[in-house]
Amino acid sequence: MTTLDTGTKTGTQTGTLMPPPNTASKTSAQVRTGTQEKTGGARLTASDPIYGGILDFLIDEAALLDDDRHVEWLDCLADDIVYQMPVRKTVYRRNGDGFDGRNSHWDDNRQSLGMRVKRSVDLASAFDRDPPPHIRRMVTNLIVRKTDTPGEYAAMSYMLLLRNRFDAPTYDILSAKRKDLIRRGSDGICKLARRLILLDQTALGAVFINVFM
């Protein structure tokens, strides 16, 4: 099975429902894992100050991107950041949720994210970035859990991203669950160490290359 651990139910369901057509999962190479090894810890309540600090961090981070302050956004990232948006496919229920990390829309590190930021704000010829698109990111449904590593927290949030360009009356919409690993220093400063973006779409509705989630 080539699904990532995306936190949703996978495998054959038992019960009285009609089974789907006669399909079985295809065998293929094991994929690298997401943040699942660090998601099993105790959940922090919303009243926990650490929860509040992480929520502030995610809101601030989204605001930096929305306000086109991409260079400052890079300061939110840990040096060993792993930033991935796996490809999703439409499969029958028994074959999982369709995420397949063998191929990715994004598979970035600090260096490549820096290059994308440079392209996003600093080049005269990045025509998809100038005039700047109008983008709004909504961050909600945050769940924070402890991990085995002190100071590292697994943060799962929902994101709804709206993008408008030129004088179009409509928005391009991107909706996703994000599974982050947040590293919190003793000074309370948070850095993003991993981000796994799990989209709610298989064939994306528009060209979203270079739109940070």
Interface contacts to another protein, rule CB under 8 A: 2, 21-27, 29, 32, 87, 89-92, 95, 100-109, 112, 115-116, 118-119, 123-128, 202-210
Which residue, 8 or 112, has its beta carbon nearer to another protein? 112
DSSP-derived letter for residue 43 is B
Which residue, 44 or 193, has its beta carbon nearer to another protein? 193
Rounded Cα–Cα distance for residues 117 and 70 (Å): 6
Rounded Cα–Cα distance for residues 124 and 132 (Å): 12
Which residue, 188 or 205, has its beta carbon nearer to another protein? 205
Which residue, 148 or 167, has its beta carbon nearer to another protein? 167
Which residue, 16 or 27, has its beta carbon nearer to another protein? 27
Contact 110, 82 (CB under 8 A): no
Conformation bin of residue 182: beta by default, left when phi > 0, alpha when psi is -120 to 50: beta
Rounded Cα–Cα distance for residues 36 and 201 (Å): 21
The CB-of-180 to another protein minimum distance in angstroms stands at 18
The CB-of-75 to another protein minimum distance in angstroms stands at 20
Name the residue among 60, 111, 78 with its Cα closest to residue 180.
78
The CB-of-42 to another protein minimum distance in angstroms stands at 32
The CB-of-151 to another protein minimum distance in angstroms stands at 27
φ, ψ at 164 (rounded to 5°): -125, 140
The CB-of-114 to another protein minimum distance in angstroms stands at 10
